Structure 1
């Protein structure tokens, strides 16, 4: 059994939506308004089904979700239990102080349920899109350096750092003497920040910073081994670095997968025939060689057997199911329910319902 894999241990299971909209035939999300409102409705439905998380991708310049905090706050106001997160916020585009204000407010509205994935970001729709947001790398640095620096500032200010010199004649009395920090503060948010790591080295860096690990459906190809093996080794490197760093809490680790249990005619029509990505793919993305994980789509018994062999899922405590959001709230609620009902209990991830 792979190191870190524990059979029969309950996993948190949530969905990850890319938030696409288009007027393509069959799309139930044709506008940005559709996607935003349906995302809230799906978070509510997922909570009612007993799922643990509603997570949303962040992409700029595309017909996809881009500004997460209004959505997270709205979903937080409509739900009471489910985790609400991102996967991931591109820190090349963020003012970390303004982001800290938004994040603190949204987390307070949600009652402390935000789980924010941040990272350097994914391949862009435009060339150097962060430039139009007013950001550039200082001489001798890259935008990856900027993303890490912004993240370090963000972590400090949500952890209560006081750094701003107070006005001796302020409009309103200051709450305390000395430097001031960002408000509002939301207790515990610092422990609910995740780093989306593509490589083993960035996973180690995330552990050193005290962030949880979010590993997606692709990573840097570092050994030529199957995706799930490389991802499992990345998780092990993260946990080893966390132990070395001496943090006083247990970290969390999530992996993302496209998984569909074929239990009705609609499932077979959408995912049961034609070409399926049922093996890993290797390619070049953003000038580095990457390995892309396979998708899973099969009847429950076969699906369970296949998922038993996925070493990274076994090693993670949280599984995020990527969903086809343009197929609508009802169908995606069915996708989640099928996994929670027919698959998760048989793998020991959940008790039978």
Structure 2
């Protein structure tokens, strides 16, 4: 029998997808992602989140995808987890985010992170041919974006110019409320503290930096508590957890075999911290919804959050995602105390 006992009953149920596509025929993959988001809304999910992938066969323009999704849905919140700001101009991104937020009716939840773009040495000449050595990839880049989203001055000039041109001193359009839905995706104590001090929401996922321990749940719990300790809202500050869960309740035999092979291939990296940065990956959670619920209810960090964005496996097919989402909404979510939006 499924249990629904946790210190914080699950209030918001979301999912995260990378949106893979065939490079020789990319449209079907993008359409599949939009269909999955619409399915999520129909199943009662509270949020759908898109990963961000540059120079890969995954979604490279999540804001454009969220704009499309906003016109096919009416209720579900739409997020990014996360936009790496090293690839972005904060002023231009603020314009895009506000535009899509207004079109969606205030449903956008932008998640961001900082640091140099992946494979920086091989891509910097294409991305910043004239300014690579001067680009600032620190938290200051997030601060600039937050300021523009909040409506801070972007220029000293405003007013009429010429016959018909009228200029604003802030980014336009401005979307009231968007600043309160900005998230930071962090994997370290420093990032958790910074996000809290700057009043952002906090995304914590299936990878953390092993700084004080080598137990994933213990590390993630320390990040959640550090974030809330430094956030003005304290224990009420929003945290979303993004572990990989694969319920198999309604999966057929072929799907179960595929899922098991996927998890087996990824499990070795969860046994110890990886690389010089000592990044530690959480094991994928696979099994019946009852089994996964038991594991989550025993997870130290999960017990202190009430929002999730469960990550869909990267390389599965559309019918697999339909099955997984249906089981999450119909079985796993309720086992964790969640109820779908009526």
Q: Same fold (TM over 0.5)?
A: yes
Between stretches 101-110 and 316-325, larger displacement belongs to 316-325
1:276, distance to aligned residue in structure 2 (A):
6.1
TM-score (norm 1): 0.85
Residue in 2 that maps onto 1:261: 247
- Does the 8 A contact of 1:341 with 1:352 survive in 2? no
Is contact 1:8–1:347 with CA below 8 Å preserved after alignment?
no
1:15 aligns with 2:7: no
Is it true that 1:172 corresponds to 2:164 in the alignment? yes
Quote the residue 1:42 is aligned against: 36
Map Cα deviations across residues 173-225 of structure 1 (whole Å, 9 max, x no partner).
647xxx61110111100011111111011110011111100111111101233
The answer as to 2:213 corresponding to 1:217 is no
2:70 counterpart SS class? helix
Structure 1: 5+ residue stretches without partners:
24-29
Helix, strand or coil at the partner of 2:109:
strand
Aligned to 2:219: 230
Q: Which of 52, 55, 58 pairs up with 1:58?
A: 52
User: Cα deviations across residues 294-319 of structure 1 (Å, max 9, x unaligned)?
Assistant: 10111233222222211222222221
3-state SS of paired residue (2:41): helix
* Distance in 1 of aligned mates of 2:7 and 2:170: 44
Aligned residues: 331
Counterpart CA distance in 1 for 2:140 and 2:192 is 16
Tell me whether 72-81 or 265-274 shows the greater mean CA deviation: 265-274
**Aligned partners of 1:120 and 1:147 also within 8 Å:** yes
- Distance in 2 (CA, whole Å) between partners of 1:256 and 1:38 is 21
- Stretch moving more, 187-196 or 146-155: 146-155
- CA–CA distance in structure 1, aligned partners of residues 60 and 78 of structure 2: 15
8 Å CA contact 2:6, 2:336 repeated in 1:
no
| Structure 1 residues 212 and 47, CA gap change in structure 2 (3 angstroms) | same
> 1:26 is matched with which residue?
none
Q: Secondary structure at the match of 2:246?
A: strand
Match of 1:27 in 2: none
Residue 257 of structure 1 and its aligned partner are, at CA, apart by 1.1
Contact 1:86 1:115 in 2 (8 A): yes
How far apart are the structure 2 equivalents of 1:146 and 1:167?
Answer: 33
The aligned residue for residue 203 of structure 1 is 192
Displacement of 1:128 in angstroms is 5.3
Name which of 64, 70, 74 aligns with 1:70: 64
Is it true that 1:108 corresponds to 2:102 in the alignment? yes
Tell me if the contact between 1:22 and 1:31 (Cα under 8 Å) persists in the aligned partners: yes
Normalised by the length of structure 2, the TM-score is 0.87
Give me the whole-angstrom Cα distance separating, in 2, the residues matched to 1:344 and 1:168.
54
3-state SS of the aligned residue for 2:272? Answer: strand
Q: In structure 2, do the counterparts of structure 1 residues 319 and 168 end up closer, same or farther at CA, with 3 Å as the change threshold?
A: closer
Secondary structure of residue in 1 paired with 2:237? coil
1:315 and 1:202 map into 2 onto residues whose CA distance is 18
State which drifts further: 315-324 or 72-81: 315-324
Within 5 Å, give how 1:65-144 maps onto structure 2: 65-120=59-114, 124-125=118-119, 127=121, 129-134=123-128, 135-138=131-134
1:282 aligns with 2:282: no
Deviation at 1:8, TM superposition (A): 5.4
State yes or no: 1:156 paired with 2:142: no
Q: Please, what is the CA RMSD of the aligned residues?
A: 2.7
Q: Distance in 2 between matches of 1:278 and 1:348?
A: 28
The answer to which of 76-85 and 258-267 deviates more is 258-267
| SS of residue matched to 2:214 | coil
Match of 1:51, SS state, is coil
Q: Which runs of 5+ in 2 are unaligned?
A: none
- In the alignment, the residues of structure 2 paired with residue 332 and residue 116 of structure 1 have an alpha-carbon distance, to the nearest angstrom, of 23
- Closer/same/farther in 2, CA of residues 352 and 37 from structure 1, 3 Å limit: closer
